C-alpha cells in the first residue's frame, strides 16, 4: 500500500515537472519570436542594395532594383504590380530622407564647420520634396505620350521608380558624404535610415495612385 501511494506521488510530481518545463520552453520560444519581430520592425528598411557603413554608398538603378525584387516569370500583371509596390516603398524612403535633411539641426550637422546657410539650403530641400511627385509624374507620362499597350503601366511605373532611386542616391550622398565626411564633427541623424514601420506608415498615407491599369477595372479605381 505504501509503495503504491509513493509511486502515485512520483507520477504526479513527474507530470508537474514536465508541465512546468513545457510552459517554460513555450514562454521562451514566444519571447524569442516577439524579440525577432520587434527587431525586424525597428531595423532599417533596406530597399536599395547600399552599404550602410556611413562611409560610402553604392548607387543602384531602378532596373537593378526591378531585376532583383521582381519576377518576370509572373507575367506582365505580376511584374507591373511588383514595380508599383517598389515605387511606393522607394517613394516613402525618399520622402523620409528629404524630411530628415530638411529638419536637421546643430549639432546633427556641425554648423560651426561649414559656411552654408542652413535655413536657405533646407528651403531648397523642402521645395524639391513638395514638387517632386508632380514633376516626376509629368515627366513619365509625357515620355509615354501617344503610346498604347498593356506595357504602358509598367513603363510609367519604371520611369517613376528611376526618379525615386536617383533621388535616394542623391540623398544618401548628401548625408553620408557631405554631412558625415566633409563637415567634421557632425553628430549625424540617428534615424536617417527609416525602419520597416516608418516605411509602412508613410505608404498608408501616401500610396501611389495606380489608376485603371487592367481591363475590367472601373473608371474610379485608385
Q: What is the pLDDT of residue 20?
A: 55
Q: Are 58 and 49 in contact (CB under 8 A)?
A: yes
Q: What is the pLDDT of residue 86?
A: 93
Q: What is the pLDDT of residue 54?
A: 44
Q: What is the pLDDT of residue 140?
A: 94
Which residues constitute the domain of residue 111? 62-205
Contacts 24+ apart (CB under 8 A), 187-193: 187/107, 187/108, 187/109, 187/110, 188/54, 188/108, 189/100, 189/101, 189/104, 189/108, 191/100, 192/97, 192/100, 193/44, 193/45, 193/46, 193/52
The answer to the question of residue 212 being in a domain is: no
Residues 106 and 16 occupy one common structural domain: no
Task: Report how far Cα 166 is from the mean position of its chain's Cα atoms.
Answer: 15
- Would you give per-residue pLDDT tens digits along the chain (222 residues)? 545 555 555 555 555 555 555 544 545 455 454 554 444 446 676 666 554 444 445 677 898 899 888 876 767 888 888 999 999 999 999 999 999 999 999 999 999 888 889 999 999 999 999 999 999 999 999 998 887 777 888 899 999 999 999 999 999 999 999 999 999 899 999 999 999 999 999 988 776 655 555 544 555 555
Q: What is the pLDDT of residue 167?
A: 96
Count CB neighbours of 43 within 10 A.
12
The answer to the question of residue 215 being in a domain is: no
What is the number of domains present in the chain?
2
Residue 155 in grid coordinates: 513603363
Residues 87 and 32 occupy one common structural domain: no
C-alpha to C-alpha distance for 213 and 215, rounded to whole angstroms: 7
Q: What is the pLDDT of residue 60?
A: 78
Q: Which of 207, 161, 204, 197 lies closest to 45, judged by CA?
A: 197
Residues 37 and 147 occupy one common structural domain: no
Residues 198 and 158 occupy one common structural domain: yes
- Compute the C-alpha angle 110/113/115, nearest 5°: 110
Residues 32 and 77 occupy one common structural domain: no
The whole model's pTM is what? Answer: 0.72
Residues 97 and 29 occupy one common structural domain: no
Q: What is the pLDDT of residue 28?
A: 47
Q: What is the pLDDT of residue 59?
A: 76
| DSSP assignment of 49-116 | ----SSS------HHHHHHHH--GGGHHHHHHHHHHHHHHHHHHHHHHHHHHHHT--TTTS-GGG--S
Q: Are 100 and 168 in contact (CB under 8 A)?
A: no
Amino acid at each position: 500500500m505504501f509503495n503504491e501511494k509513493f509511486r502515485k506521488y512520483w507520477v504526479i510530481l513527474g507530470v508537474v515537472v514536465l508541465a512546468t518545463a513545457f510552459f517554460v520552453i513555450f514562454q521562451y520560444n514566444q519571447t524569442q519570436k516577439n524579440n525577432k519581430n520587434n527587431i525586424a520592425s525597428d531595423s532599417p528598411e533596406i530597399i536599395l542594395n547600399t552599404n550602410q557603413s556611413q562611409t560610402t554608398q553604392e548607387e543602384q538603378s531602378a532596373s537593378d532594383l526591378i531585376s532583383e525584387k521582381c519576377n518576370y516569370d509572373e507575367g506582365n500583371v505580376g511584374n507591373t504590380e511588383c514595380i508599383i509596390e517598389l515605387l511606393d516603398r522607394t517613394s516613402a524612403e525618399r520622402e523620409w530622407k528629404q524630411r530628415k535633411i530638411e529638419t536637421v539641426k546643430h549639432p546633427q550637422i556641425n554648423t560651426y564647420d561649414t559656411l552654408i546657410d542652413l535655413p536657405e539650403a533646407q528651403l531648397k530641400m523642402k521645395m524639391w520634396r513638395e514638387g517632386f511627385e508632380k514633376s516626376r509624374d509629368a515627366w513619365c507620362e509625357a515620355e509615354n505620350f501617344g503610346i498604347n499597350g498593356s506595357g504602358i503601366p509598367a513603363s510609367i511605373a519604371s520611369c517613376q521608380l528611376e526618379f525615386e532611386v536617383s533621388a535616394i542616391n542623391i540623398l544618401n550622398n548628401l548625408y553620408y558624404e557631405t554631412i558625415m565626411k566633409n563637415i567634421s564633427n557632425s553628430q549625424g541623424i540617428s534615424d536617417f535610415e527609416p525602419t520597416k514601420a516608418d516605411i509602412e506608415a508613410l505608404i498608408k498615407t501616401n500610396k501611389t495612385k495606380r489608376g485603371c491599369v487592367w481591363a475590367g477595372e472601373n473608371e474610379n479605381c485608385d
